[in-house]
Structure formats: C-alpha cells, structure tokens
Amino acid sequence: MLKNKSAIVTGSTSGIGLGIARALAAQGANVMLNGFGDAGAIADLAASLRAEHGVAVAHSAADMARPEQIEAMVAEAAALFGAVDILVNNAGIQHTARVEDFPAERWEQIMAINLSSNFYATRAALPGMQRRGWGRIINIASVHGLVASANKAAYVAAKHGVIGLTKTVALENARGGVTCNAICPGWVLTPLVQRQIDDLAAREGLSPEAARARLLGEKQPSQEFATPEQIGALAVFLCSPGANQIRGAALNVDGGWAAQ
C-alpha cells in the first residue's frame, strides 16, 4: 500500500517507534530510522528491514532536542528518498517528580524532545507534502495528552501540547491531501515503561510481576498492555485512503484508560 512512499519515524530504535517503522516498511515504505543505541545493533536492524521488505532504510542520529539536527534529518531523508511523505513524531522521554521537586533542566528537555521536536520536524517536512498534494503527519502523543497523572507535569503538559499542535496543523491543511493526527497510547510495555515498573518495584518492594500488575491495575481497564504492533497497525491505517477524512483527531489505544 505504501510502495514509493517514504517515511521518517523519530525515536525508532526502540519500542513504539520501532513497531511503527516495521509496520510502514512491511507496507513498502522506505524508512528513515532515528534514535540512539548501539551502532552495530541499529545497522543490523536497518539491514533486516531492507532484506525482509525490499525497502530503502537509513538511520539518522539526530537529537530531537536540537532544532538544527531535526531540520538536517528531514533534508537528508528528502535527498536520500526523493521525498518525505510520512512523518511520525514519536521520540519521547519521561521524568517523574512532583512539580515542586521537578528539575528545571528535565522540564526543558521534555518540552524540547516531546513537544518542540514535533513542531520543527513538521515545519521542515510540510512544504514538500503540500507541493506533492499528499502527506501524513502522525504524532505519538499519549493518553496523557487527554488526561493527567500525578508526578508527570512536564510529560502531561508536553503531550497536551502535541494534541493542540496536531489540531492546528490539521486545520491549516484541511483542504488537500495532507492530514495530521495524534495517536494516544495507554501503557505499552517498552523500555520507557519498564523503567517505571522497576522504580515501582524498588520503591514498594514488589516483584516485577506484581509491579506490572499494579501499574495496569491503577489505570488501564483492559488490564493488558497495548503493543507496538497495534500502534503500528493504526499508523498504517492513518496512511491509507480510508483515513483521508480523519483530521486533527486524537485516537486512544489505551485499553479504556481515558473512558473512565
């Protein structure tokens, strides 16, 4: 379905971003991976995607906290593939603390990576999409873009901001073939969440299984994690003609979290 289309997926060396990159490559899209990690492991990942799906795959180590690196990444993908048709703004980090204890530098870092990077990448990729009359911008927000939790001030503020940005970009491009939407996952078992499970287990003296069950029990009515594959499947749908009129939406994949 996405043959001859090219995508950038930020933060795709791990977790949800990797699930989305795999799903887009499986549909025939060329993919620019982005994110940190062991160089050999990233090269192996790119090689396996190429071999499995016959698509072009590259990797940019651009830091999503640095606007000039974000712009260079978009330019590099456009030069390499001829276009950036699909932009998935996924890179994100977490830090938990009460507001009065929240370190200012962590606030700034979360704003830069989780929110401002979406703006800089979108601004760089949009003109090409508008010229070609087709584009998909998919922002990986969070259920925390819709509701809050204690101890996550920066993350919740940034993710609410992502949904606001999503709506604005969708409206500015409402006539034409460029759509912009947000996906709002609940708990997905990735390294970002595993760190929160480990912290909870250490803090409360729980086994890993008990900490995992506590985490789900507090928030996610299905009592099951969403998966990177499920988020990837929704991203693929948003790239399909069936999604042409889905614009400015924030779609939960949260086991019922935000329905409560």
Which range of residues in 49-57, 77-85, 164-172, 190-198 is near ligand NAD by CB under 6 A? 190-198
Q: Quote the least distance from Cβ 105 to ligand NAD, whole Å.
A: 14
14 binds ligand NAD (CB under 6 A): yes
Exactly one of 188, 197, 235, 236 binds ligand NAD (CB under 6 A); that residue is: 188
Q: Which is nearer to ligand NAD, 41 or 47 (CB)?
A: 41
- Do 141 and 169 form a contact (C-beta atoms < 8 A)? no
90 binds ligand NAD (CB under 6 A): yes
35 binds ligand NAD (CB under 6 A): yes
Amino acid making up residue 91: A
| Contacts of ligand NAD in 198-257 (CB under 6 A) | none
Instruction: Please say if 120 is a catalytic residue.
Output: no
Exactly one of 31, 46, 77, 113 binds ligand NAD (CB under 6 A); that residue is: 113
Q: Which is nearer to ligand NAD, 63 or 85 (CB)?
A: 63
Neighbour-count burial of 51, counting CB atoms closer than 10 A to its CB (0-12 exposed, 13-18 middle, 19+ buried): exposed
- Do 86 and 24 form a contact (C-beta atoms < 8 A)? yes
Q: Which is nearer to ligand NAD, 11 or 161 (CB)?
A: 11
Q: Quote the least distance from Cβ 93 to ligand NAD, whole Å.
A: 5
Which range of residues in 15-23, 80-88, 120-128, 244-252 is near ligand NAD by CB under 6 A? 15-23
Rounded CA separation 22/27 (Å):
9
Give me the residues that bind ligand NAD (CB under 6 A), please: 11-17, 34-37, 63-65, 90-93, 113-114, 140, 142, 185, 187-188, 190-193
List active site positions.
155
